[in-house]
Amino acid sequence: MAGTGFADGVAISEDAFAKINLALHVTGQRSDGYHLLEMLVTFTRSGDRLDFAPADTDEFHISGRFGGALASDGGTNLVLKARDALRLAIGDAGGAAPPVSIQLCKDLPIASGIGGGSADAAAALRGLMRLWGTPLPAETIDAIAIKLGADVPMCLASRPLIARGIGERIETVRDLPVFAMVLANPLKGVSTPEVFRRLATKTNGALAIVPGLSWLDALRSMRNDLEPPARALLPEIAEISDMLRDQGALFVRMSGSGATCFGIFAGMAEAQAARQALLGKRPDWYFEATETLAGDDDDRR
């Protein structure tokens, strides 16, 4: 196997892009308890950042606006689980995975429905594969990703896609346009298991993209089946959605199981103006103006 050490001994960086569920349909439930989903997913240029460098011993440092919330996470952090799983696979293949220093700059809110931890784990896999020079088979990396979490394979791809099953069956969407967007979160948690538990039905209609519709109209024909139970658990979701609409958002929806909501705006100037106005109203909440990645965008770092 090629790759017995660091790639030129040079420190590298990886972006962990925020994952946005433009639509999320719950279509069933497996016998093992996992819910069957059909999701239209995109990623934004806003996110966390990971830096990797050779070290004498393994190190892990966390900074950023929300870094303090992870300070006591210890070995449960998905970045460390990704490092250890990849190192084990490399060892099994006869390669070397020397000690590494990892710096996580945590700028995304924790447990907020935009895949922060999963995006970090995926960025760790991408970054360490580059740093260690490890050409592992794609199926090996995919197996590691799905064991880390259902969202990790999507975040590993970090491009517009449709995901089905528990998130492991992925189909790239190449014609999804770039959206100017404001991400909004009241910085209050909502329990994902409780959201699923409160679903009125777990056998909802499938995701379908109707030919001939604009993408905004197509989004309006889709749903996030988790939004109604999440709103019942956390009234701020409705409040923050109304605030986005009041600032001129063309389309508003909750992402994932919440509590982050996104508003699509006509352009980045409008999104940035909306963010400033929203921060003026609620400086204690999270608002971020960003844009999504295009389906053919190869800038993933």
Instruction: Report how far residue 214's alpha carbon sits from residue 221's, in angstroms, rounded to the nearest whole number.
Output: 11
Is residue 222 within 8 A of residue 207, CB to CB? The reply is yes
pLDDT at position 78 is 94
Instruction: Report how far residue 264's alpha carbon sits from residue 251's, in angstroms, rounded to the nearest whole number.
Output: 5
pLDDT (tens digit per residue) in 27-83: 999 999 889 999 999 999 999 999 999 999 999 999 999 998 876 555 458 999 999
Pairing of strands 59-63, 100-105: parallel
Catalytic residue among 48, 107, 151, 225: 151
pLDDT at position 7 is 46
Instruction: Report how far residue 126's alpha carbon sits from residue 141's, in angstroms, rounded to the nearest whole number.
Output: 10
Instruction: Report how far residue 41's alpha carbon sits from residue 236's, in angstroms, rounded to the nearest whole number.
Output: 23
pLDDT at position 210 is 87
pLDDT at position 75 is 46
Q: Residue 19 catalytic?
A: yes
3-state secondary structure of 246: helix
Tokens 């590691």 found at: 144
Give the tokens for residue 110: 């924790």
pLDDT (tens digit per residue) in 12-41: 999 999 999 999 999 999 999 889 999 999
Q: Residue 81 catalytic?
A: no
Q: Left, alpha or beta for 292 (phi > 0: left; psi -120 to 50: alpha)?
A: beta
Residues of the chain under the 70 pLDDT cut: 1-10, 71-76, 296-301
pLDDT at position 72 is 57
Catalytic residue among 19, 81, 120, 225: 19
User: Which residue in 279, 300, 290 sits closest to 107, CA to CA?
Assistant: 290
Is residue 63 within 8 A of residue 106, CB to CB? The reply is yes
205 DSSP assignment? P
Q: Going by C-beta distance under 8 Å and a sequence separation of 6 or more, which residues neighbour residue 259?
A: 112, 113, 185, 186, 188, 189, 190, 230, 234, 236, 237, 240
Instruction: Report how far residue 197's alpha carbon sits from residue 83's, in angstroms, rounded to the nearest whole number.
Output: 32
User: Which residue in 104, 19, 93 sits closest to 69, CA to CA?
Assistant: 104
Q: How far does Cα 241 stand from its chain's mean position?
A: 20
pLDDT at position 76 is 58
Is residue 95 within 8 A of residue 3, CB to CB? The reply is yes
3-state secondary structure of 273: helix
Is residue 254 within 8 A of residue 241, CB to CB? The reply is yes
Instruction: Report how far residue 277's alpha carbon sits from residue 126's, in angstroms, rounded to the nearest whole number.
Output: 37
